[in-house]
């Protein structure tokens, strides 16, 4: 109430003193609001740092470490199956593209990052540039004078080959999209499992606390010393924690094995899809060549 009355009085006084007084009051109020915001922000930051310090002091559970290692191993396996070219071949591919004017140097740098991150493969860019060269040749045969080329049938053959390459590129793009969707679904499942494990741990802790309270009440009724009751409760809590940690470790190990098996199956599936796409492209090119020859 006093602060409110003071504010009203200051506002009234400011109104009496004119625009200059009103400006001073507004600046004072803005300074008070800014000060309150800074204090709230500092309090939130201190709470966050305290929470991080508590988590660091508590250490990381063994099941969480095992899950992270399994995920990293699965990622490495997926990258190995998805990147058929080594660094030297990759650099040669990009250098050739820049030399032939198919890509700018800055764009190649971005494409390198795409290959390293697994978003696209080097083979994807090889097919893209190959298709672009063939389309350029196709345009040349379509627009050049009749005397400028001695092989008019080559235009149809190049066009058919370009269509086959474009189809293979589309298959690679769909594969990348399906990989991204699978990764998102897997991350969501991991989050749900983590939430379930947290809820289960809280339930175990609550049960242990209830059991300790019941035991303490029974001991008090029987006239047992308080130190003995506290010792029993501490022992019961320790046993419950050991049991919960063992169960969590078993679940983490099972999940890691499942993730490993899933990654291996996905690598096999990707290899089969790539082989199928290559076979289809080869068959289409052969059929187009036969049609042109006929």
CA pseudo-torsion sign 52, 48, 187, 202: positive
Q: What is the mean pLDDT of residues 9-32?
A: 59
Question: Any idea what DSSP says for residue 144?
Answer: S
CB atoms within 10 A of CB 156: 15
Residues of the chain with pLDDT > 90, as a percent, come to 0
Share of the chain residues as helix, strand and coil, in percent rounded to the nearest 5? 90, 0, 10
**Model-level pTM greater than 0.75?**
no
Structure tokens at 139: 């345009």
DSSP string, 42-99: HHHHHHHHHHHHHHHHH---HHHHHHHHHHHHHHHHHHHHH--S-HHHHHHHHHHHHH
Q: What is the mean pLDDT of residues 25-53?
A: 79
Given a cut of 70, whether residue 52 has pLDDT beyond it is: yes
Q: Using CA atoms, how far apart are residues 32 and 29, in angstroms rounded to an integer?
A: 5
Report the pLDDT value the prediction gives residue 161, as an integer from 0 to 100.
Answer: 64
Backbone dihedral angles phi then psi of residue 91, each to the nearest 5 degrees: -65, -40
Q: Using CA atoms, how far apart are residues 210 and 228, in angstroms rounded to an integer?
A: 18
Residues in the chain: 294
pLDDT tens-digit map of 64-122: 666 777 777 766 666 555 544 456 667 777 777 778 776 777 777 777 787 777 777 77
Report the pLDDT value the prediction gives residue 293, as an integer from 0 to 100.
Answer: 63
CA pseudo-torsion sign 215, 221, 223, 227: positive
Q: What is the 3-state secondary structure (H, E, C) of 183-241?
A: HHHHHHHHHHHHHHHHHHHHHHHHHHHHHHHHHHHHHHHHCCCHHHHHHHHHHHHHHHH
pLDDT tens-digit map of 173-202: 667 676 766 777 777 777 777 777 777 777
Report the pLDDT value the prediction gives residue 151, as an integer from 0 to 100.
Answer: 45
Selection from 184, 154, 144 nearest residue 293 by Cα: 154
pLDDT tens-digit map of 242-254: 887 888 788 778 8
Report the pLDDT value the prediction gives residue 146, as an integer from 0 to 100.
Answer: 47
Structure tokens at 158: 């190049």
pLDDT tens-digit map of 133-160: 665 555 555 554 444 444 444 455 556 6
- Classified as helix, coil or strand, 102 is coil
Please check whether residue 248 is in contact with residue 61, taking contact to mean a CB–CB distance below 8 angstroms.
Answer: yes
């Amino acid at each position: 109430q006093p602060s409110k009355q003071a504010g009203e009085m200051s506002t009234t006084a400011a109104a009496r003193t004119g625009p200059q007084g009103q400006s001073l009051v507004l600046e004072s109020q803005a300074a008070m609001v800014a000060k309150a915001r800074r204090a709230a922000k500092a309090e939130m930051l201190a709470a966050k740092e305290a929470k991080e310090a508590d988590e660091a002091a508590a250490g990381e559970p063994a099941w969480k470490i095992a899950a992270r290692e399994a995920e990293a191993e699965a990622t490495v396996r997926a990258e190995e199956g998805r990147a058929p070219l080594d660094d030297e071949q990759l650099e040669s591919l990009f250098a050739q593209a820049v030399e032939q004017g198919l890509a700018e140097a800055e764009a190649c740098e971005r494409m390198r990052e795409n290959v390293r991150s697994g978003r696209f493969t080097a083979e994807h860019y090889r097919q893209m540039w190959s298709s672009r060269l063939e389309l350029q040749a196709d345009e040349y045969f379509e627009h050049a004078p009749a005397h400028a080329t001695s092989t008019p049938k080559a235009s149809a053959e190049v066009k058919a080959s370009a269509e086959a390459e474009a189809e293979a590129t589309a298959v690679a793009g769909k594969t990348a999209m399906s990989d991204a969707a699978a990764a998102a679904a897997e991350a969501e499942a991991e989050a749900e499992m983590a939430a379930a494990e947290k809820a289960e741990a809280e339930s175990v802790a609550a049960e242990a606390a209830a059991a300790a309270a019941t035991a303490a009440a029974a001991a008090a009724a029987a006239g047992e010393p308080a130190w003995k009751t506290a010792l029993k409760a501490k022992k019961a809590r320790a046993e419950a924690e050991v049991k919960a940690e063992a169960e969590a470790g078993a679940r983490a190990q099972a999940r890691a094995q499942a993730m490993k098996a899933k990654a291996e199956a996905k690598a096999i599936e990707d290899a089969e899809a790539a082989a199928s796409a290559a076979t289809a492209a080869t068959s289409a090119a052969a059929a187009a060549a036969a049609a042109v020859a006929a």
